[in-house]
Structure 1
Amino acid sequence: MQLQIKDNVPAVTGLLTVISLALVFGAALRVIPPSVFPHVDALITVIPHLNAVISLTAIVTICAGWYYIKAGSIEKHRRAMIVSFVLFVIFLVLYLYRVILEGPTPFPGPALLKTYFYLPLLAIHILLAIVCVPLLYYVLLLAATRPIDEIYSTNHRRIARIAAPLWLISFTLGVVVYALLYIVY
């Protein structure tokens, strides 16, 4: 199985990206019926706050991974990036669960702020999140299917230099969105 993925990283990346984005858009556009999932009020209430903590933790682990690879600590880098990806998956599952059952959270602040700050900020956050999905799958699949000495001959490093900052910005903007929705207003 690993050999088949190793030889088809772009195709597997494409397949995983299509599946992931279909789930996200299916949830956001209310295509996935809410009746498919149990409605647990306590969980739905806590998800935004939990996802903010997950996002902040992911920001730390991504930065740690970046630091470790610059310092030449490949194993620590690998662990930090795996933790970052697991945090992202947990975030996404919780987010999708909430959006499927409740829909997107409306902005409760002033209309002027919504139009000129919140919506552009949210659009950038969403765009970066969408762009990050295939980049993350690609670098993770390259790393997961090759021994360390072989990774250096792939595009892992080049793509990761794009993916990591975009991932950090997306998570950071997500925390700002959370603050606007649940703390400021």
Structure 2
Amino acid sequence: MNSSVSQESKYKKFITVISIVIPLAVAALFGIKIPNVEPLSFLPPIYASINGVTAVLLVLSVIAIKKGNRKLHEQLNTFAIICSALFLVMYVAYHMTSDSTKFGGEGVIKYVYFFILITHILLSIIIIPFVLITFMRARLGQFTDHKRIAKITFPLWLYVAVTGVVVYLMISPYYA
């Protein structure tokens, strides 16, 4: 078995495990409340800001690669992955220490909010393997395949990052 195929096989196993474990762990942890701990109520604006930074990094990454700056493109995407991981840790920590906030809007805005929230949540699960496969293909030098999947990954990841900010802005007036 050639080294590249072997590496790709290891990456694919890792991607499969991570793509299953993260959503299941988040779902499980979401239902766990840590007793007798101060709510981490300061986190939502921080993790919403991290989503905003991720969106900016993704746009800058596309600009960098269009200008032929592969190194900057790689650095920006790596930083975007780190930001997404930080978001996830803070999001889970907040929900393990704080009660969920109910959206208080009424009428059409309530349906708009729930549409954005539901699509954000579903796509945040779907995007995990896309991001990891896109990253893997670049790391393995499979740039044709990387570019092909990146055309799908980029808009999905950008949507998740931007809607994360939008969801926060829409619900923030209702935080206790």
Q: What does residue 162 of structure 1 align with?
A: 152
Mapped partners of 2:164, 2:88: distance in 1: 12
User: Structure 2: 5+ residue runs without aligned partners?
Assistant: none
Encode CA deviations 1:70-124: one digit per residue, 9 max, x unaligned: 111000000000110100000010001111222432112226532x211111111
Query: 5+ unaligned residues in a row in structure 1: which ranges?
Result: none
Using the aligned pairs only, state the percent identity. Answer: 24
Name the TM-score, length of structure 2 as normaliser: 0.87
- The answer on whether the counterparts of 2:64 and 2:72 sit within 8 Å (CA) in structure 1 is yes
Give, in angstroms, the shift of residue 39 of structure 1: 2.7
Partner of 1:7: 9
SS at match of 1:69: helix
Residue 48 of structure 1 deviates from its aligned partner by 0.6
Report the TM-score when normalising by structure 1: 0.83
The superposition leaves residues 34-86 of structure 1 with CA deviations (integer Å, 9 ceiling, x where unpaired) of 23x88343xx1211110121111111111011111111100000000011010
- Where 2:42 maps in the other structure, the secondary structure is helix
The 8 Å contact of residues 34 and 100 in structure 1, kept in 2 or not, is answered as yes
- 1:97-112 aligned within 5 A: 97-110=93-106
2: CA distance between counterparts of 1:19 and 1:136? 15
User: Which residue number in structure 2 is paired with residue 22 of structure 1?
Assistant: 24
Alignment of 1:176 onto 2:166: yes
Letter in 1 for 2:44: P
Tell me if 1:55 matches 2:55. no
RMSD of equivalent CA atoms: 2.3
Task: State the number of aligned residues.
Answer: 172
User: In structure 2, which of residues 112, 115, 122 is the aligned counterpart of residue 117 of structure 1?
Assistant: 112
Q: Give the corresponding residue for 2:76.
A: 80
